[in-house]
Amino acid sequence: MDETIFGRALTELRDAAAGSLATADAGRLIVVSNRVAPIEEGQPTAGGLAAGVLDALQNMGGLWIGWSGEISDAGSRILPEKQKGKIRLQTVDFAKADYDEYYRGFANSALWPVLHYRSALARFSRSDYAGYRRVNELFASAVADALAPQDVVWAHDYHLLGLAAALREKGVINRLGIFLHTPFPAAAVFMTIPVHADLARALCQYDLIGFQTESDRRAFEDYVLREADGHLLPGRALMAFGRVVRTGVYPIGVQTEEIREQAEPPADCPQMARLHRSIGDSKLIISVDRLDYSKGLNERFQAYERFLEQNETRRGDVTFLQIAPPSRSDVEGYREIRLELEREAGRINGRFAELDWTPLRYLNKGFARQMLMPMYARADIGLVTPMRDGMNLVAKEFVAAQNPIDPGVLVLSQFAGAACELKAALLVNPHDPDEIAAALERALSMPLAERRERHAEMMAVLRRNSLTVWRDRFLGDLNGRA
Ligand code: F6P
């Protein structure tokens, strides 16, 4: 590499580490994510990202910019701000073409499958990519309108890989960071996206890129070094496309105490009473996922069927509750999985059900967090077996919701980001129904002492790396704290 560029890069890095704490502390935080949480109480959760960002912003405050969830005939437009507690919320309506090309198209039909190692499902088109860039520019305009010189911008996820590039084009020099909630795949997989080089160049316009796990971070670094002629600098920074970009690992966490409180419902909670009436004292296995092919739902149903085949004495005494709110139902691939699961649930129940026993309850709807936590606490097993997942906050929430005196057992896919931290779960390969079936039986017969020990080990990890720690570590690094 050119010596002068290298020298400049090192100076920039040193400045970043030393100088900007005061600057950033004086500035405000602007968060940008496609999905923003429904900030009214008791709404179903909008997924891990929105819930996590809401928690992280609630006590520190800031401006949150994202999609209103509406498609408007009036075209894409930035709506007036709303205030909710310490959060100022600014949403954007999308024109139909923007929704189709950016959200349904490039983000969810091309990027999402590739980031989850499912390139064969990806559908790429130039016009979708143009729409993706257009919406990133729209979000950049909303940010630029609100931006003061000391503010820092924290973008979230695969929808906004181009936000920093759009802001830099507007002359913005503020600190810009992005946290990727999904996995980042191996270079060879990322390269199946025809515009991979363009995306990497745009990503390198951020000052800091955060990943869920070290293997995601390494995969990005590997791509930049091998395919983008990048160079490694001290402190996990990269010199690429004429800029210095820092990378880091920030596994998203949960608020353990709040979850444990929510897990103890009032004694007269009608929904819990209904659940109790219908399953009595029988063993409960619970899974909660958006209806998405990356979640391994079909494979999980097969594994449960295998478990019922192999463990005759458990029949009649165990219920598997799968909660799967529909998601992205207008994206190809999502309709199919819904039909497939309905068929499979019906088949498995048809095969094993008795007059007084339904082995698999499959609910196609979402529940508010306040309802889910008591259900997690009641469950004997949390079954979380995605084929790939950035983190999977359900796994962490399940652990945090347990009563430490008599905790349930987490059966967790080795391909969820959470597996890097929750090593005391029963880790399984989601491709292997026999292994999952064996883990279910092992969990159901696990002695209390072992359940407590595993739970305590996982809780220690969750307490050390709470959602607040995640937020503070990322923002600390973005602000240049050493
Ligand atoms: O990281 C993926 C993610 O953004 C999650 O945080 C969230 O659970 C989900 O996707 C939401 O998907 P959508 O906004 O398409 O409904």
Q: What is the pLDDT of residues 55-70, one digit of tens each?
A: 778 877 899 999 999 9
Q: What is the pLDDT of residues 33-92, one digit of tens each?
A: 999 977 555 554 545 677 778 877 887 789 999 999 999 999 899 898 998 888 999 999
Residue 231 in this model has a pLDDT that exceeds 70? yes
Whose C-alpha lies nearest to ligand 1, atom 8? Answer: 47
Whose C-alpha lies nearest to ligand 1, atom 14? Answer: 35
Whose C-alpha lies nearest to ligand 1, atom 3? Answer: 49
328 Cα to the center of ligand 1, angstroms: 10
Active-site residue, 181 included? yes
Q: Kindly name the residue from 93, 207, 389, 477 that is annotated as catalytic.
A: 389
Q: What is the pLDDT of residues 303-328, one digit of tens each?
A: 999 999 999 999 999 999 999 999 99
Mean pLDDT along residues 146-168? 97
Q: For residues 450 and 463, what is the distance between their CA atoms, to the nearest angstrom?
A: 20
Q: For residues 31 and 181, what is the distance between their CA atoms, to the nearest angstrom?
A: 14
CB 182 less than 6 A from any atom of ligand 1: yes
Number of Cβ within a 10 Å radius of residue 151: 20
Mean pLDDT along residues 229-247? 97
Stretch (H or E) spanning 290: none
Stretch (H or E) spanning 369: helix 369-378
The pLDDT value recorded for residue 50 is 79
Q: What is the pLDDT of residues 415-450, one digit of tens each?
A: 999 999 999 999 999 999 999 999 999 999 999 999
The pLDDT value recorded for residue 21 is 31
Tokens of 305: 């069927």
CB 327 less than 6 A from any atom of ligand 1: yes
CA dist list (Å): 166 to 97, 161, 177: 20, 10, 13
**Average pLDDT for the chain:** 91
Alpha helix (H) ranges present in 32-172? 48-58, 96-98, 112-115, 126-146, 163-169
**Residue pointed to by tokens 């004086």:** 26
Whose C-alpha lies nearest to ligand 1, atom 6? Answer: 49
CB 157 less than 6 A from any atom of ligand 1: yes
In 3D space, the residue among 361, 341, 338, 339 whose CA is nearest the CA of residue 349 turns out to be 361
Q: For residues 55 and 67, what is the distance between their CA atoms, to the nearest angstrom?
A: 18
Best residue among 290, 388, 389, 470 to mutate for probing ligand 1, ranked by most atoms within 8 Å of CB: 290
Active-site residue, 389 included? yes
Q: For residues 81 and 246, what is the distance between their CA atoms, to the nearest angstrom?
A: 32
CB 322 less than 6 A from any atom of ligand 1: no
Number of Cβ within a 10 Å radius of residue 348: 19
The pLDDT value recorded for residue 302 is 98
Mean pLDDT along residues 339-364? 97
CB 325 less than 6 A from any atom of ligand 1: no
> Which pTM was predicted?
0.92
Q: For residues 317 and 333, what is the distance between their CA atoms, to the nearest angstrom?
A: 35
CB 412 less than 6 A from any atom of ligand 1: no
Q: Kindly name the residue from 116, 156, 159, 181 that is annotated as catalytic.
A: 181
Stretch (H or E) spanning 105: none
Q: For residues 251 and 214, what is the distance between their CA atoms, to the nearest angstrom?
A: 9
Q: Which residues contact 274 (CB under 8 A, 6 or more apart)?
A: none
